Amino acid sequence: MTSPQILGAPPVTRERITALMSRLTGDEKHTVAATSTLDVLQVLYGRILRVSPAAADDPDRDRFYLSKGHGPMAFYAVLAAHGFFPEDVLDTFTDFDSPLGLHPDRLLVPGVEISSGSLGHGLPLAVGAAHALRIRRSPARVIVLVGDAELDEGSCTEAIEYAGGIGLDALTLVVVDNASSSYAVRGRIEQRLRAHGWDALRVDGRDHARLEEALSRRVPGRPNAVIAQVEDKAEAAR
Amino acid sequence: MSSTATAPAALSPRARFGRTATDLLAEREDLAVVIAEISAQHLEDAARAHPERVINVGIREQLLVGTGAGLALNGIRPLIHTFAPFLVERAFEQITLDLAHQGVGGVLVGSGGSFDMSGEGRTHQGPADVALAATVPGMVIHAPATSDEVEATLRAAAADTGLHYVRVSDRAQRTQIPADGAMHVLRTGSAERGSARRPPLTLIALGTVRDAALEAARALDATLLSSTTALPLDGAALRAHAGAEVVVIEPWLAGTSLAAVAAELDDAPRRFLGIGTSRTELRRYGTPAQHEVAHGLDAAGLVRRIREWSRPTDSPHR
Ligand SMILES: [Mg+2]
């Protein structure tokens, strides 16, 4: 489902998002590290999530939990582009009295569902959110985004085993995989998830059509995961 | 249901937690209990009646608190429970970040106290729980000392929207007070020992040391105050009743509440003594009563320690 466009607002294109990111960083060009989550976020907010500034408190809105809080520029840009806060707020990035810091704070930024920074917190929070949606008989889903190295955290293992074990199907995990984990082996993330009962797909993290297809997928009785493969961190640094 | 056959007063404080949680689940549809295997035996009826609202995450304490916080973020009031050290120590970052930093509340219920499970050894003992919980912004800390106080405390904490830590210890006391956050006067020291310049000793008992503190207060002719709430403290009552010598007795790390008590009593010069469990690891098994004696938390130990410390002369500076 598509989130409603604001009347008169320009379409949220990749060019528009990167232009807004420039207001945060002052850079005209963005590194692949800075844009690792950009395409996933653009597809989520443009084509998948049923969220909008007008329905920010709707109990049946979809939840998006950005667990990988570092490098939030693309996230802030996407939220501003979708009208969650005025674009000129982007110019205050990391100022003392700015709502926008290097890790997002849900109490400061409209549209941010969880405060993040310390890794490994978003997935357990999303498990609780999925339980709450089930208790409330809500049709909404919760999508949580982590980095591949964030899955090193034991708290993620706890959540992966449990969510798969009880079949928490309101939960979707997006792993933005730039092979940054020290002991990364390509393909092991989805193997690990499937071993614990998850549906898991690896797709090109820059391909909007494939991302939309994978993120739209729901499997009754099972949580699902989308591993969005982007440029390797080591390659990108070269 | 099997639990209803038992009179509430006969239930241990921990079993009463299970019974109260079961009742609250029946009374409120927006409340859930999250556990990590521990105390599942006290929640079997509840799990049958409300399978979606009794959430057992297995032996996963980070997930326990994170799940509770995720519920709270989405309008479900969570009761989050396991043994005190597993809850407050192992999942401490989840308490600070998933609950306090996100700006959501919940009721953390830690059972076992400092040495309910004396025979299990150090790993199952939580003497630092109150000290750690006190560092979390906005945390209200309760230490009910009877089964009835446990129920009243849990009901009030569940009805609130804030962040609460409820310390449930099975060292139930005979002396009961209202679980209302107020500091109650259990005994007033007589003026025979005290005088205008040196009023009676003031003992403040927090948690499951109330009976021993009352016995000690009688032996010392001291005033005894007690509250089921360890933080925030009832400062008005403290200022109204405290003398020049103030002893804080708590069955967790010695000195935990001293700074908070002293901050409330900054209206006059006073001497303070903190009595609690020792920072030195005991490395003993045995019974909880033996641990109380070893830490000087029995009546005789309290009297001995306070007599050593007190300066029962009219001169504040010897
Ligand atoms: Mg990574």
The string of pLDDT tens digits covering residues B8-17 is 668 999 999 9
Q: Is the residue at A1 inside a domain?
A: no
To the nearest whole angstrom, how far is the Cα of B62 from the nearest Cα of chain A? 6
Task: Tell me which DSSP letter residue B278 carries.
Answer: -
Instruction: State the pLDDT at residue A8.
Output: 63
Residues B218 and B89 in one domain: no
Residue-averaged pLDDT of chain B: 94
d(CA A235, CA B70) in angstroms, rounded, equals 36
- DSSP H or E stretch at residue A203: strand A199-204
**Token pair in block for residue A166:** 């009880």
**B54-56 and B106-111: which strand pairing?**
unpaired
Residue A58 three-state SS: coil
Specify whether the CB–CB gap between B95 and B108 falls below 8 A: yes
Domain span including residue A88: 14-236
Residues B67 and B159 in one domain: yes
Using the mean position of ligand 1's atoms as its centre, give its distance from the Cα of residue A178 in Å.
5
Residues B152 and B192 in one domain: no
Instruction: State the pLDDT at residue B67.
Output: 99
Residues B45 and B156 in one domain: yes
Q: Do A155 and B62 touch (CB under 8 A)?
A: yes
Q: Could you tell me what percent of chain B has a pLDDT over 70? A: 92
Residues 79-108 of chain B whose Cβ lies under 8 A from any Cβ of chain A: 93-94, 97-98, 101-103
Specify whether the CB–CB gap between B265 and B247 falls below 8 A: no
Residue A128: CA atoms inside 13 Å, Cβ hemisphere, count?
A: 35
Domain span including residue B273: 184-309
- Look at residue B53 and tell me whether its pLDDT is greater than 60: yes
Specify whether the CB–CB gap between A39 and A226 falls below 8 A: no
Res. B7 pLDDT band, cuts 50 70 90: low
- Look at residue B196 and tell me whether its pLDDT is greater than 70: no
- Neighbour-count burial for A22-46, b at 16+ CB within 10 Å, e otherwise: bbbeeeeebebbbbbbbbbbbbbbb
Instruction: State the pLDDT at residue A7.
Output: 60
The string of pLDDT tens digits covering residues B215-274 is 999 999 999 999 999 999 999 999 999 999 999 999 999 999 999 999 999 999 999 999
- Look at residue B83 and tell me whether its pLDDT is greater than 70: yes
d(CA A157, CA A159) in angstroms, rounded, equals 5
**Token pair in block for residue A79:** 């939220």
Residue type, position B120, single letter: E
Q: What is the CATH number of the domain that holds A229?
A: 3.40.50.970
Residue B165 three-state SS: strand
d(CA A151, CA A126) in angstroms, rounded, equals 14
- Look at residue A184 and tell me whether its pLDDT is greater than 70: yes
Q: What is the CATH number of the domain that holds B100?
A: 3.40.50.970
Q: What is the CATH number of the domain that holds B218?
A: 3.40.50.920
Q: Is the residue at B82 inside a domain?
A: yes
Instruction: State the pLDDT at residue A31.
Output: 87
Q: Is the residue at A178 inside a domain?
A: yes
Residue B66 three-state SS: helix
Residues B209 and B143 in one domain: no
Partner residue facing B67 (CB), from A107, A115, A131: A131
Domain boundary among B112, B143, B168: B168
Residues B147 and B263 in one domain: no
Residues B193 and B252 in one domain: yes
**Could you report the predicted ipTM of this complex, rounded to two decimals?**
0.96
d(CA A171, CA B262) in angstroms, rounded, equals 49
- Give Dmax (Cα) for chain B: 66
Instruction: State the pLDDT at residue A234.
Output: 85
Residues 127-156 of chain B whose Cβ lies under 8 A from any Cβ of chain A: none
The string of pLDDT tens digits covering residues B278-294 is 999 999 999 999 999 99
Q: Is the residue at B293 inside a domain?
A: yes
Domain boundary among B120, B135, B168: B168
Res. A237 pLDDT band, cuts 50 70 90: confident
Q: Is the residue at A6 inside a domain?
A: no
Res. A6 pLDDT band, cuts 50 70 90: low
The domain total for chain A is 1
- Look at residue B314 and tell me whether its pLDDT is greater than 60: no
Residue B78: CB partners within 8 Å, gap ≥ 6? Answer: A128, B31, B32, B33, B34, B67, B68, B69, B71, B72, B106, B107
Task: Tell me which residues of chain A have a C-beta less than 8 Å from any C-beta of chain B.
Answer: 59, 63, 106-107, 113-115, 118, 120-121, 123-136, 154-155, 158-159, 161-162, 165
Q: How many CB atoms lie within 10 A of CB B174?
A: 9
- Look at residue B316 and tell me whether its pLDDT is greater than 50: no
Instruction: State the pLDDT at residue B4.
Output: 42
Instruction: State the pLDDT at residue B190.
Output: 86
Q: Do B52 and A133 touch (CB under 8 A)?
A: no
Overall average pLDDT of the A160-187 stretch: 97
Using the mean position of ligand 1's atoms as its centre, give its distance from the Cα of residue A150 in Å.
7
Residue A49 three-state SS: coil
Which of B110, B216, B101 minimizes the C-alpha distance to B168?
B110
Overall average pLDDT of the A52-58 stretch: 94
d(CA B51, CA B33) in angstroms, rounded, equals 10
- Look at residue B60 and tell me whether its pLDDT is greater than 60: yes
Residue B108 three-state SS: strand
Q: Is the residue at A3 inside a domain?
A: no
Q: Is the residue at A76 inside a domain?
A: yes
Residues B31 and B151 in one domain: yes
The string of pLDDT tens digits covering residues A196-205 is 999 999 999 9
Residue-averaged pLDDT of chain A: 95
**Token pair in block for residue A66:** 């950005």
The domain total for chain B is 2
**Token pair in block for residue A173:** 């995990």
d(CA B23, CA A76) in angstroms, rounded, equals 44
Specify whether the CB–CB gap between B31 and A88 falls below 8 A: no
Res. A224 pLDDT band, cuts 50 70 90: very high
Q: Is the residue at A78 inside a domain?
A: yes
d(CA B239, CA A79) in angstroms, rounded, equals 52
**Token pair in block for residue B131:** 């000290």
The string of pLDDT tens digits covering residues A71-122 is 999 999 999 999 999 999 999 999 999 999 999 999 999 999 999 999 999 9
Q: What are the angstrom distances between the C-alpha of B66 and each of A134, B35, B74, B130?
A: 17, 12, 13, 20
Specify whether the CB–CB gap between B34 and B13 falls below 8 A: no
Q: Is the residue at B1 inside a domain?
A: no
Q: How many CB atoms lie within 10 A of CB B134?
A: 17
| B72 vs A: CB within 8 A | yes
Res. A235 pLDDT band, cuts 50 70 90: confident
The string of pLDDT tens digits covering residues A27-51 is 889 888 889 999 999 999 999 999 9
Q: Could you tell me what percent of chain B has a pLDDT over 90? A: 91
Instruction: State the pLDDT at residue B312.
Output: 64
Instruction: State the pLDDT at residue A122.
Output: 98
To the nearest whole angstrom, how far is the Cα of B40 from the nearest Cα of chain A? 17
Domain boundary among B106, B140, B168: B168
B73: chain A residues, CB-CB within 8 Å: 113-114, 125, 128-129, 132
